[in-house]
Structure 1
Amino acid sequence: MVRCWKRSETTGLEDSQCMDEGPTVSCQFPHKSFWVILSATLLLVIIALGVMGHLWVKQPDAQVVRITVQDLTGTLINQSALVDKHNDLVTYSVTSQANHTSTVLFDIKHGLICYKHINQETCYLRKMERSDYENVQSLLQQSMEKENQLVLLGNETQRQTEFLGVMGGSQVDVSTLEGPLQALCQHSSIHWTRRQDGPGKQRLVYFCIDICFPSNICVSVCFYYLPE
């Protein structure tokens, strides 16, 4: 016999017979614990997915590659390159023997190179050429192989010099640049440059930046002002 509980207006709860036959069971809806367990399980799944998503988002996109190279005198020069594959950026930090640090930013997506010397409140822009893409590609490939430390031997390294002339009247509005370039040159004047064969005897080179790539190529980029 099935026995249920029915509320009485006068006496509260009283039992009444629901059916004439069958075992004695409660008419109360069963499986309340099932819904509690199901809700807890769903909550744990949601939390796990959230944690995994958070870890995926926070996964570092940039890798630091340290480059040690011998100069012509055999002295070791240390450089570091921050490779950001997600944003197609390579940022060099170059410290000279005089302990002056320069930053060179390769914006591969927009085909631009930006040079900034620590002692000057000026940025210099240049459009990337085929050789620039090839050099940076060697660095991207090296970082993909998870080599964080590179040593370039002096007798195996090719060296070349590039002269960049600063174009007069070519000052750039920082607001027209992309985010990484804006951040680097926020409080600096910005000028376009172009590659030249050399400054000529009447022009003076006022600073150079040496950049070394994993392809055993070191480039000394030297700047001077073009005639107005």
Structure 2
Amino acid sequence: INQSAVVDEQNNLVTFSVTSTANQTSTVLFDIRHGLICYKPVDTESCFLRKMEQFDYDNVRSLLDESTHKVTVSDISAGQTEFLGVLAATQVNISTLEQPLQDLCQDRSVHWTRKAEGPGKERLVYFCIDICFPSNICVSVCFYYLPE
């Protein structure tokens, strides 16, 4: 797995790209100005949104403080798994999103997510993305659908 981050200091954006060994790329966009994280996974016609928490702000700001605009992220030393449930009936009108999110998710449906305790026995795990920050903290984000 190859990971990189592109930092846009002017617009307060950090874009992570995670490329698998099959040469497929998932993208995670941190929009610090609007407090949103947008996940664009491989092999699905959807994007997923969630609101940033203090942990997210702290880790992403360390990238904004870097002097380079493209950062290669490696040296995994600590990890944490985060489960996000896709909320039922929460499709977002893409025209209501800011431009960077519209550009990332064009021609895809967009859904709100929320943090969850875990996948549970009756839930279907949809996909997982690993994101590593320069502070050597890694987060594995897994999405699954929540039952009504």
TM-score (norm 2): 0.93
Partner in structure 2 of residue 185 of structure 1:
105
2:118 maps to 1:194:
no
Cα RMSD of the aligned pairs, angstroms, is 1.6
Q: Residues 124, 218 of structure 1: CA spacing in aligned structure 2 closer, same or farther, 3 A cutoff?
A: same
Structure of greater Rg: 1
Residue 2 of structure 2 corresponds to: 78
Question: Counterparts of 1:133-148 in structure 2 under 5 Å?
Answer: 133-141=57-65, 143-144=66-67, 146=68
Correspondences of 1:58-207 after superposition (within 5 Å) = 77-141=1-65, 143-144=66-67, 146=68, 150=72, 152-154=74-76, 157-207=77-127
> Would the alpha carbon gap of residues 121 and 110 (structure 1) be closer, same or farther in structure 2, given more than 3 Å must change?
same
One-letter code aligned to 1:92: F
Taking a change above 3 Å as real, the CA distance of residues 158 and 116 of structure 1, as seen in their structure-2 partners, is same
Q: Distance in 1 between matches of 2:105 and 2:71?
A: 29
Match of 1:15 in 2: none
**Count of aligned positions:** 148
The amino acid across from 1:174 in the alignment is I
Identity, % of aligned pairs?
68
1:118 is displaced (CA, Å) by: 2.4
CA shift in 2, pair 1:211/1:197, >3 Å? same
Cα separation, 1, equivalents of 2:121 and 2:74: 33
Post-superposition CA distance 1:139-167 (Å, at most 9, x none): 112x22x485556434xx11110000000
The AA in structure 1 aligned to 2:119 is P
The code of the aligned residue for 2:83 comes to: F
2: distance between equivalents of 1:210 and 1:118?
13
* Cα-to-partner distance string for 1:65-88 (whole Å, 9 max, x where unaligned): xxxxxxxxxxxx321111000000
Q: TM-score if structure 1 supplies the norm length?
A: 0.62
Q: Which runs of 5+ in 2 are unaligned?
A: none
Structure 1 or 2: more strand by fraction = 2
Structure 1: state its 5+ residue gaps: 1-76
- Pair 198,116 (structure 1): closer, same or farther in 2 beyond 3 Å: same
1:52-100 Cα offsets, whole Å, 9 max, x none, are: xxxxxxxxxxxxxxxxxxxxxxxxx321111000000111111123432
C-alpha distance in 2, partners of 1:224/1:148?
31
Q: Residues 192-217 of structure 1, C-alpha deviation per residue, up to 9 Å, x if partnerless?
A: 00000101011121110110100001
Q: Cα offset for 1:131?
A: 0.3
Change (3 A) 1:107 1:199: same
